[in-house]
Copies of this chain bind each other. A is one copy, B any other.
Amino acid sequence: MIPLSRKSPVSPERCNLARAVNEIGDRWTLLILRSALYGLRRFDDFQSELGTPRTILSGRLRSLVETGLLEKKMYKVEGKRARPEYVLTEKGEALRPVLIALTQWGDVWLDSDSLPPVSFTDMQSRQSVRTAFVTAEGREVPSENLRIVLRR
């Protein structure tokens, strides 16, 4: 069990985790990102999948564009007029491992009875895949062996 502390080693203002939480740590934002990572791009597709109130959705999409997680582009299908679509940027796509890790946490701790509806495998070996900590050259480090290092 982690030892008692009265104060975090990094204040929330300087902490990149806290900053990340301020940027994306909100129910609708996270659900929108989830759908976006599954390939959704259009306003009404997000709306009908998630049931987000349209007014909220429009605001959240705007801030996701402002923070650079989504990019607003125009698409045009033959015979229809041009409409916006919201596609993940590199920054947004970089959240995929985080959200997969959270999915796997949910698989274990929220629904351990049934088999998870989605899982992830290596395209090549077809083995199933989990998130873990690795060194620079890719050797796994068990999480008990992690040590926090503060920059002086």
Contact = CB atoms under 8 A, between A and B. Distances in A.
Interface in A65-117: 85, 87-88, 91, 93-103, 105-111, 115-117
Nearest to A128: B136
A93 B107 CA distance: 15
Interface in A103-145: 103, 105-111, 115-125, 127-136, 138-141, 143, 145
Contacts of A23: 110
A59 interface: no
Interface residues of A, number: 93
Q: Which DSSP category, helix, strand, loop or mixed, fits chain A's interface? A: mixed
Given A23-B110, A102-B17, A120 B146 contact: yes
A128 B151 CA distance: 13
Contact of A105 (B27, B50, B95, B116): B95
Given A146-B129, A151-B117, A98 B94 contact: no
Nearest to A8: B38
A8 B105 CA distance: 20
A99 to B, nearest CB: 6
Interface of A: 1-12, 14-23, 25-27, 30-31, 34-35, 37-42, 45, 49-50, 85, 87-88, 91, 93-103, 105-111, 115-125, 127-136, 138-141, 143, 145-151
The 10 A-B residue pairs with the shortest CB-CB distance, nearest first, are A5-B39, A16-B106, A138-B140, A20-B106, A8-B38, A17-B103, A127-B135, A122-B141, A21-B30, A132-B134
